[in-house]
Amino acid sequence: MFKHKNIVPFLLSLGILAAILAVFSVISWSWCFILILIWIGLTTWGSFDIRQSYFTDVFYKKLRHDGHTLSLTFDDGPTPITEEFLDLLKSFNAKATFFCIGKQIEKHPDIFKRILAEGHTIGNHTMNHSKAFGFFTAEQVVSEINCCDAEINDLVPFKTRLFRPPFGVTNPSVAKAVQETKHQVIGWSIRSLDTILTDEEKIYQRVIGRLQPGEIVLLHDTSAKSLRVLQRILSYMKERNWHSVTTDELLNLHAYED
């Protein structure tokens, strides 16, 4: 299986064998260099492609679905424009999952509570969404998760079990942290790139080009651009009788614990 815990011992064994053979001039030392490049490549790929579940188990889509449901997810809120996203979702009778940043919850507690009141699911997206998240130690990741949980617990009497790492980065630190905090890592199968692309048509086509029941779509409730794209996505889904449900419903997971 393509897992860090399996790949590292395998490549290490090959590396030792290659080094021994190179010492006795059976093969070139370049083979050792090639193995190092393979390790770097696999580690980088596993870190940034959350669908690989390379370092830890990740839920990123529903493989066996009912033919009608998928899950829209929103990262980095709540923000003032989140309320417009909620209005739009309500108009289509759609449910979604919002992965919230702790400091944003602190700024907009009423919007956070509205997300829950309207039947959407909330998940942990760390306290600060640091750009250096990929370089954090396990202890720092645990602190980010726990601080976000604390912000949530100030407003609601339960803890979310769902966690999405910033930028979708996973590594040994994240794996160790979620094992300690007992969160389930939620990824995505379709990344809209709505915070990177400026052309709304490209964002829309990127999503609908792969949109099918069972998919988990990554969007952001942070801009009017994403709001306009969401309107088109929801209309596209309605034409096909597809419905957005919360991620925990799609995957049959327990989203919260007391």
In the set 75, 149, 194, 221, the catalytic residue is: 75
- Residue-wise over 8-40: b if at least 16 C-beta within 10 A, else e? eeebeebbeebeeeeeeeeeeeebbeebeeebe
Q: Which of 126, 206, 119 is nearest to 173 (CA)?
A: 126
**CATH classification number, 58-257, choose in 3.90.1140.10, 3.20.20.370, 3.40.50.1820, 3.40.50.300:** 3.20.20.370
Domain ranges of the chain: 4-48, 58-257
The residue count for the chain: 258
pTM of the model: 0.87
Is 154 considered catalytic here?
no
Q: Give a three-class secondary structure readout of the chain.
A: CCCHHHHHHHHHHHHHHHHHHHHCCCCCCHHHHHHHHHHHHHHHHHHHCHHHCCCCCEECECCCCCCCEEEEEEEEECCCCHHHHHHHHHHCCCCEEEEECHHHHHHCHHHHHHHHHCCCEEEECCCCCCCCHHHCCHHHHHHHHHHHHHHHHCCCCCEECEECCHHHCCCHHHHHHHHHHCCEEECCCEECCCCCCCCHHHHHHHHHCCCCCCEEEEEECCCHHHHHHHHHHHHHHHHCCCEECCHHHHHCCCCEEC
- pLDDT digits over 119-160, tens only? 999 999 999 999 999 999 999 999 999 999 999 999 999 999
Is 75 considered catalytic here?
yes
Q: Which of 50, 64, 61, 96 is nearest to 211 (CA)?
A: 61
- pLDDT digits over 32-45, tens only? 777 677 766 766 76
pLDDT tens string, the chain, 258 residues long: the values are 567 666 767 767 777 877 788 787 888 888 777 767 776 676 676 656 787 777 899 999 998 877 899 999 999 999 999 999 999 999 999 999 999 999 999 999 999 999 999 999 999 999 999 999 999 999 999 999 999 999 999 999 999 999 999 999 999 999 999 999 999 999 999 999 999 999 999 999 999 999 999 999 999 999 999 999 999 999 999 999 999 999 999 999 999 997
In the set 220, 221, 243, 248, the catalytic residue is: 220
